[in-house]
Chain A
Amino acid sequence: MKKLATIVFVVLCVCTLAIPALAGYPEKPITYQIPFGPGGQSDLEARRQQPLLEKALGVKVIVQYKPGGGGSIGWANLISQKPDGYFISGINIPHIVLQPLARGNAGYETDQLKPIALFQATPIGLAVLKDSPFKNLKDLVTYAKENPDAIVCGGSGTWSGHHIAHLQFSKAAGIKMTYIPSKGAAKSVAAFLGGHVMALWGNSNDLVQHADKIRVLAFGTREPFPNMPDAPTFESLGYKIYASIDRGAGAPPETPDEVIQVLEKAFLGIANDPKVKEQMKKDGFVPIAMGAAESKAYIAEKVVEWAPVVKEFKK
């Protein structure tokens, strides 16, 4: 099947070379690239959208994986594609903001990715196990002040959403803690449940899944996280930390605005579908529906917020 999809895709690519973008967009299959491997959350979202997108756009949508470099290989590939709307890609924030900032050359620049829409937010929270002596965030901060670097926090990756939240919070609270990166959220959750770290920077869906074993000290949201309304937000405790992993879709630079509008309408239609929203909520996500312009502004805002943090901590 995969083979077939690849062949079809190659044939289509050859065909597209000859035909310029036409008024009747879309009129042939659209490739929807996932810059991660199969089975991840980005993939599952794309698979959920695939039939609905096909219905809304009236053409086939082919999901294609291009994993590597934490997504950078896929995004570098995206910007080299023809900007005719027949090649789009999943985009993830903070990845697309932090990679160019932290790596110097990630193969693409944040502003080269043209956002279509953002449809899912995964709030990041700081959690401890139920039997932890830290009953609330204040306990943790007090302990960290007395014992610098002694609190070990787990999270997924370096220069990732978890890492940047860790740095921002440490700075805001004036404390020093140790951050231990893992390869992926699943491994950091395993290390956390096994007691190998004292606290965890976790994604809301993972935290919801293990809700009965953990205590969330704070979420990086503006409003309380609906699945766990009793957990406070960083904001309510006096720290301006807004941490989240947001999923959306983007197109190559120079993609015409008319084309973006068509895609935006299709994606937002799905994002606002009550059934889809219900499923996302149940799995521990926050459904959002940001259009192209709004997404662009949001991403620009994040660049301004994170650039100094990366600069400060990157030796």
Chain B
Amino acid sequence: MFDFALTGLYQVFIPGNFLVLCIGVFMGITFGALPGLTATMGLALLVPFTFTMSPSAGLIMLAGIYVGAMYGDAIPAILINTPGTPAAIATTFDGFPLAQKGMAQHGLVAAAVASSFGSLVANVVLAAAAPPLAEISLKFGPPEYFWLGIFGLTIISTLSSGSLIKGFLAGCIGMILSAVGMAELGGDIRLTFGFTELQGGIELIVALIGFFCLPEILSSVIGQRRAAYAEKMTKPSLDVIWQVITALFRRPTLMFRSATIGTIIGFAPGAGGNIASMVSYNEAIRWDKHPEEYGKGTIKGVAASEAANSAMAPGSLIPLLTLGIPGSPPAAVILGALMLHGMRPGAELFTDYADITFAFIMGLLVAAFLVTIIGSFGSFVFSRIINIPSRYLAPAIVFMTVLGSYAIRNNMLDVWIMFIFGIIGYVSNKLKFHPAPIVLGLILGPFVEEGLVQSILAGKAAGGTFQYMVYRPISGVLIFLCIMSLLWPLFAAWRSKQKEAKVTELTGSKAERDVRDA
């Protein structure tokens, strides 16, 4: 295998191939960074160009786009609170507060470094252990997806800082919104109120732009940030890059945990990066000694989200390359490209076509390093965007949001939906409803529904829905995780009480101290 890896690496560094890789990474970052343009679109647009290239050059270019896009989506997430793709939702939670504190560059560099690290870990897994992992990925059936979805929903308890009821209410609203349109499973038409245009349902990116981006613009125009978009100006410097890199490498557990979560969720076909980054962010908070720092702007939060969503990309290629099952929409496009070059996924990719396959895998790997370099130095340029006065920046962002919501499906209705959600988001922010649970419901609603409907149908045929859904090894683990996750807030509360008690024991209660001091 090592000789294949080396020949693959050699292929990547052939000047022509290296050039297309760089072009791919740049294009990927651009596609990822513009909300409404997705990695999938970038890949699909580029597939025809790869016809004329040699298979390895073509695939190396696609590798660049995929990896670039997985980082690019963090840029608008950090700067303007708009995830470039749904996979970067969790990046906004800490990225945008960082930018507001004048630390946009910290966020951008953290995103780049964590992205590369996530990619790196997942690629090593992909190169070393794809076939056995692919077999495990097939064990994920309807009940497993259902429980994975439920586990995802337990994150709401973390996201709804403050009021749990508000959080769950918002999650329910999101799930109801996700039911609008044609039910992909049952074919029924739901909640369209007679408008045939609504049969297409609510597009996630449109909802994201509406709920995350517009409220910030509104509060900047209406509120105090009229002059400057960020509360504090960003002053990029070389020191920041070094600081961030050392800070992140002092937290190997955080980095490895996030990358592992991303890889695992990536190779379960169909789960996708949207969930990966959320789960990883949630776990980062859970295991951190200072959970209160999250959500207020810490590079740890950005790193947790970005490492996971970038690890998801090579992860989703595991079932693709070994079984021909795409784990994500971009992977589906890569499948098409492989087929067009006459390469059929399966064992022969790792034997007959090993040179091309490993050129592709190494392409992903080298692209990850390019992302660190481009991201670190690009941060000087990108982070200054936020210093542009609001009266120029705000209209530019509004223009981009309109274009982005339209471009995703070439549908004007999406632009109106985006505006409506924007206004709802602004009002709900004022009422202290965080939009994150709504979006989580929107993402996980269809996921949970699919798992549940299929489980019930299959369970009936097998003679018992309950047995079918519960008595399975992976289901068991996931159910355990759900229960743990639900009980965690109680445990955390108990733990902090214990701590307090200890402190009291050592120093005496406040009343005693008062007496003593007096």
Decide whether A and B are members of one complex.
yes
Report A's interface with B, CB cutoff 8 A: 1-3, 6, 37-41, 43-44, 47, 50-51, 64-70, 72-73, 76, 102-103, 105-107, 149-152, 157-160, 178-183, 186-187, 189-191, 193-197, 209-210, 212, 279, 282-283
**A interface footprint on B307-339 (CB within 8 Å = 1, 0 otherwise):** 000000000000100011110011011001001
Residues of B within 8 A of A47 (CB): 44, 47-48
In contact, B142 and A6 (Cβ under 8 angstroms): no
CA distance A53 to B269 in the complex (A): 36
Asked whether A103 and B461 contact (CB < 8 A) given A39-B43, A183-B450, the answer is no
Asked whether A178 and B458 contact (CB < 8 A) given A186-B325, A187-B269, the answer is yes
| CB < 8 Å neighbour of B457 from A159, A178, A212 | A178
Q: Chain A contact residues: over half helix, strand or loop, or mixed?
A: mixed
Residue B162 CB within 8 A of the other chain: no
In contact, A39 and B185 (Cβ under 8 angstroms): no
Distance in angstroms from B102 CB to nearest chain A CB is: 31
Q: In chain A, what residue has the closest Cβ to B134?
A: A193
CA distance A182 to B446 in the complex (A): 12
Residue B100 CB within 8 A of the other chain: no
In contact, B40 and A39 (Cβ under 8 angstroms): yes
Distance in angstroms from A208 CB to nearest chain B CB is: 9
B:6-43 near A, CB below 8 Å: 37, 40-41, 43
Residue B181 CB within 8 A of the other chain: yes
CA distance A2 to B31 in the complex (A): 10
Residue B243 CB within 8 A of the other chain: no
In contact, B336 and A39 (Cβ under 8 angstroms): yes
Asked whether A6 and B407 contact (CB < 8 A) given A72-B182, A189-B325, A190-B138, the answer is yes
In contact, B458 and A105 (Cβ under 8 angstroms): no
Asked whether A44 and B340 contact (CB < 8 A) given A2-B37, A105-B196, A194-B138, the answer is yes
Q: In chain A, what residue has the closest Cβ to B197?
A: A73
Asked whether A190 and B270 contact (CB < 8 A) given A6-B406, A64-B410, the answer is yes
Residues of B within 8 A of A194 (CB): 138-141
CA distance A210 to B322 in the complex (A): 11
Asked whether A197 and B410 contact (CB < 8 A) given A68-B199, A158-B186, A209-B324, the answer is no
Count: A-B pairs, CB below 8 Å: 160
In contact, B200 and A38 (Cβ under 8 angstroms): no
Excluding A160-B187, A178-B457, 20 further A-B contacts by CB distance (< 8 Å) are: A2-B37, A2-B45, A3-B37, A6-B410, A38-B40, A51-B48, A67-B409, A69-B201, A76-B197, A105-B194, A149-B461, A152-B457, A152-B462, A157-B187, A183-B446, A189-B324, A191-B141, A195-B138, A196-B141, A209-B344
In contact, B182 and A70 (Cβ under 8 angstroms): yes
CA distance A186 to B411 in the complex (A): 26
CA distance A43 to B37 in the complex (A): 17
CA distance A68 to B189 in the complex (A): 12
In contact, B196 and A39 (Cβ under 8 angstroms): no
CA distance A40 to B331 in the complex (A): 11
| CB < 8 Å neighbour of A69 from B45, B199, B269, B407 | B199
Asked whether A102 and B187 contact (CB < 8 A) given A68-B181, A150-B461, A178-B458, the answer is yes
Q: Chain B contact residues: over half helix, strand or loop, or mixed?
A: helix
In contact, B142 and A191 (Cβ under 8 angstroms): yes
Residues of B within 8 A of A178 (CB): 457-458, 460-461
Asked whether A282 and B461 contact (CB < 8 A) given A39-B332, A67-B409, A158-B185, the answer is no
In contact, B197 and A193 (Cβ under 8 angstroms): no
Residue B454 CB within 8 A of the other chain: yes
In contact, A73 and B200 (Cβ under 8 angstroms): yes
Residues of B within 8 A of A76 (CB): 196-197
**A interface footprint on B39-59 (CB within 8 Å = 1, 0 otherwise):** 011011101100000000000
Residues of B within 8 A of A64 (CB): 410
Residues of A within 8 A of B181 (CB): 68-69
Asked whether A37 and B196 contact (CB < 8 A) given A152-B458, A186-B332, the answer is no
B:183-228 near A, CB below 8 Å: 183-187, 189, 194, 196-197, 199-201
Q: In chain B, what residue has the closest Cβ to A206?
A: B324
In contact, A43 and B44 (Cβ under 8 angstroms): yes
Q: Which of A107, A189, A191, A283 is packed against the most chain B CB atoms within 10 Å?
A: A191
Residue B345 CB within 8 A of the other chain: yes
CA distance A23 to B420 in the complex (A): 45
Residues of B within 8 A of A152 (CB): 457-458, 461-462
Q: In chain B, what residue has the closest Cβ to A64?
A: B410
Distance in angstroms from A213 CB to nearest chain B CB is: 9
In contact, B44 and A39 (Cβ under 8 angstroms): yes
CA distance A103 to B190 in the complex (A): 11
Residues of B within 8 A of A160 (CB): 187
Residues of A within 8 A of B142 (CB): 180, 191, 196
- Interface pairs A-B: 4 shortest CB-CB: A68-B200, A38-B44, A107-B196, A194-B138
Residues of A within 8 A of B44 (CB): 38-39, 43, 47
CA distance A181 to B252 in the complex (A): 42
How many chain-B residues does the 8 Å CB contact rule pick out? 60
Distance in angstroms from B393 CB to nearest chain A CB is: 19
In contact, A50 and B48 (Cβ under 8 angstroms): yes
Residue B473 CB within 8 A of the other chain: no
Residues of A within 8 A of B187 (CB): 70, 102-103, 157-160, 181
Distance in angstroms from A12 CB to nearest chain B CB is: 14
Residues of A within 8 A of B183 (CB): 158
CA distance A210 to B335 in the complex (A): 14
In contact, B184 and A67 (Cβ under 8 angstroms): no
In contact, B186 and A181 (Cβ under 8 angstroms): yes
In contact, B200 and A67 (Cβ under 8 angstroms): yes
Distance in angstroms from A8 CB to nearest chain B CB is: 13
Residues of A within 8 A of B291 (CB): none
Residues of B within 8 A of A193 (CB): 138, 323, 325
Distance in angstroms from B35 CB to nearest chain A CB is: 12
Residues of A within 8 A of B460 (CB): 149, 178
CA distance A193 to B431 in the complex (A): 48
In contact, A73 and B40 (Cβ under 8 angstroms): no
Residues of B within 8 A of A282 (CB): 342
Q: In chain A, what residue has the closest Cβ to B446?
A: A183
Residue B403 CB within 8 A of the other chain: yes
CA distance A1 to B44 in the complex (A): 12
Residues of A within 8 A of B194 (CB): 105
B:453-498 near A, CB below 8 Å: 454, 457-458, 460-462
Q: Which of B140, B183, B197 is packed against the most chain A CB atoms within 10 Å?
A: B197
- Can you show 22 pairs from A to B with CB atoms below 8 A apart? A2-B45, A3-B37, A6-B406, A6-B407, A38-B44, A41-B336, A65-B409, A68-B181, A70-B182, A102-B187, A107-B197, A149-B461, A181-B187, A183-B446, A186-B332, A187-B269, A189-B325, A190-B325, A191-B142, A193-B323, A196-B142, A197-B458
CA distance A195 to B189 in the complex (A): 30
Residues of B within 8 A of A151 (CB): 461
Distance in angstroms from B26 CB to nearest chain A CB is: 13
Distance in angstroms from B88 CB to nearest chain A CB is: 19
Distance in angstroms from A67 CB to nearest chain B CB is: 6
CA distance A187 to B37 in the complex (A): 24
Distance in angstroms from A158 CB to nearest chain B CB is: 4
In contact, A181 and B185 (Cβ under 8 angstroms): yes
Q: Which of A66, A72, A160 is packed against the most chain B CB atoms within 10 Å?
A: A72
CA distance A195 to B379 in the complex (A): 48
In contact, A196 and B458 (Cβ under 8 angstroms): yes
CA distance A47 to B407 in the complex (A): 19
Q: In chain A, what residue has the closest Cβ to B457?
A: A180
CA distance A38 to B44 in the complex (A): 6
